[in-house]
Chain A
Amino acid sequence: MRRIVVVGASAAGLAAAETLRREGYDGTLTLVGDEPLALYDRPPLSKQILAAEWEPERLALRTPDALAALNLDLRLGVAATGLEPADRTVELAHGSALPYDGLVIATGVRPRRLPGEGAHILRTLDDALTLRKRLTPGRRLVVVGAGFLGAEAAAVAWRLGCEVTLLEPAPVPLAHAVGMEVGKVLTNAHLERGVKLRCGVTVTEVTEDGVRLADGEVIEADEVLVAVGSLPNTEWLAGSGLTVGDGVVCDEYCAAAPNVYAAGDVARWYNPLFGTSMRIEHRTTAAEQGMAAARNLLRPEAGKPFAPVPYFWSDQYDMKIQAYGYLRGHDEVALVEGDLAERKFVAAYRTGDRVTGALAVGMPPKAIRQWRQAIATGAAWHDSVRTTVTAVES
């Protein structure tokens, strides 16, 4: 293989490029990204950047030296617009075409929007800097969607002195992901501080003075942030013959077609550890999957299934939330350590008869590591969750 193209110049794409070099690939390595900026990291956007604690320079994923050492053919500010697997070419905006022997797709996701003008979204550095200028004390911010992203932004805005209202269609925020009881506990951190929360409401439109709900009510706001999930960036693959369905569909090796692999937020692959296909929007998965895709692309004959325990963290107020595994669709949640009300605990998640997830708030690493291990080894629920636990309704 002499020509490898990686499309998507962020966490997953960088991990793929670095891994290719570490594994000895010395051919042409082209990294294409449509954002004009040098490779930067996203999780701090809704945390330190929004809070104006960090300046953008701190987001750099690598030092200039480390990047230079990769000897990349770096094409920033250029979008890939098409893929022809039969000819093995990626088409770029401006009409040029890049030939490849191997391809890694790492184009990530973009936020879903709502009808109407003037709302903020939060995905790029620009988005974060634009919103942070507007979060001055006393300003009324409505956040549509009380998922992790919306909740982090709400926490920062509260700290900056804004009047914050969270709007959420579900009866309890995050319940589908973490269960009712844990969802309520995480939500209480907002309510205690005077952040308003309205659940079971559907926003139909962003208006000039706020947002309109399905029943016609208008909630007034100076600023609106829409955080209602994301859409995989797969449009450029239309007509390529690759299977696209809520992400680029891959097998357990992260392969979408011969010599074509996908990684990160955009990839939907079969995770053998959980026996299901999944698309994970977590920072660590993006890096791990970029590495796995790169290795399998270089050495398909020694291919290894990508079977990670997904890991996610979120910072809200003084809470550090960490989640391991695949919590979605769980059958039961049990409190296995600590105290929910104090927001210092580990909750374990059961799917079928296995431990499939754990969520910890404010716990030392040692308390969590054993649960990660239990998930990684597919430990039986009844062996891991002893009798002393409190079952919490899910």
Chain B
Amino acid sequence: MKVELEADKCVASGQCVLAAMDVFDQDDDGIAILLEEQVGDDRLDDVKEAIAVCPAAAIRLVEQ
């Protein structure tokens, strides 16, 4: 699955980093950065957790 991030919606809460540290990071302003665009099944649960806790609804998973 592919992770999509709408960076201009991001409010720098860092929730995604807490949920999936190897998929998300934050820049100096706190805006989320995608470390990995393609995630395997083993990371899906954490990414779904990040989607659920992101207060800006800025993260999506898209099927390919």
Which residues on A are within 8 Å of B, measured CB to CB? 11, 15, 18-19, 22, 41, 43, 58, 60-63, 66, 283-284, 287-288, 291, 311, 313, 315, 320, 322, 364-365, 368-369
CB closest chain-A residue, reference B15: A284
Contact of A313 among B13, B17, B54 (CB under 8 A): B13
Does B11 lie within 8 Å of A43, measured CB to CB?
yes
Does B55 lie within 8 Å of A287, measured CB to CB?
yes
A311 to chain B: closest CB distance in Å?
Answer: 6
- Interface code B35-55, partner A: CB below 8 Å = 1, 0 otherwise? 000000000000010001111
Which B residues are CB-close (under 8 A) to A283? Answer: 55
Which B residues are CB-close (under 8 A) to A368? Answer: 14
Complex Cα gap A287–B13 (Å):
13
Complex Cα gap A283–B53 (Å):
9
Complex Cα gap A185–B30 (Å):
22
Chain B: interface residue total (CB-CB under 8 A): 19
Complex Cα gap A60–B56 (Å):
10
Which A residues are CB-close (under 8 A) to B2? Answer: none
A-B CB contact pairs (8 Å), 24 listed: A11-B55, A18-B52, A22-B48, A22-B52, A43-B56, A58-B9, A62-B57, A66-B60, A284-B13, A284-B15, A284-B53, A287-B53, A287-B55, A288-B53, A291-B52, A291-B53, A311-B13, A311-B15, A313-B11, A313-B13, A320-B30, A322-B13, A322-B30, A364-B30
Which A residues are CB-close (under 8 A) to B52? Answer: 15, 18-19, 22, 287, 291
Other 12 A-B pairs with CB < 8 A, given A283-B55, A320-B29, A364-B30? A22-B48, A43-B55, A43-B56, A62-B57, A66-B60, A284-B55, A287-B53, A320-B12, A322-B12, A364-B29, A365-B12, A365-B17
Which A residues are CB-close (under 8 A) to B55? Answer: 11, 43, 283-284, 287, 313
Binding site secondary structure of chain B: loop
B63 to chain A: closest CB distance in Å?
Answer: 9
- Interface code B3-27, partner A: CB below 8 Å = 1, 0 otherwise? 0000001011111010000000010
B60 to chain A: closest CB distance in Å?
Answer: 7
CB closest chain-A residue, reference B61: A66
A393 to chain B: closest CB distance in Å?
Answer: 29
Which B residues are CB-close (under 8 A) to A18? Answer: 52
CB closest chain-A residue, reference B26: A365
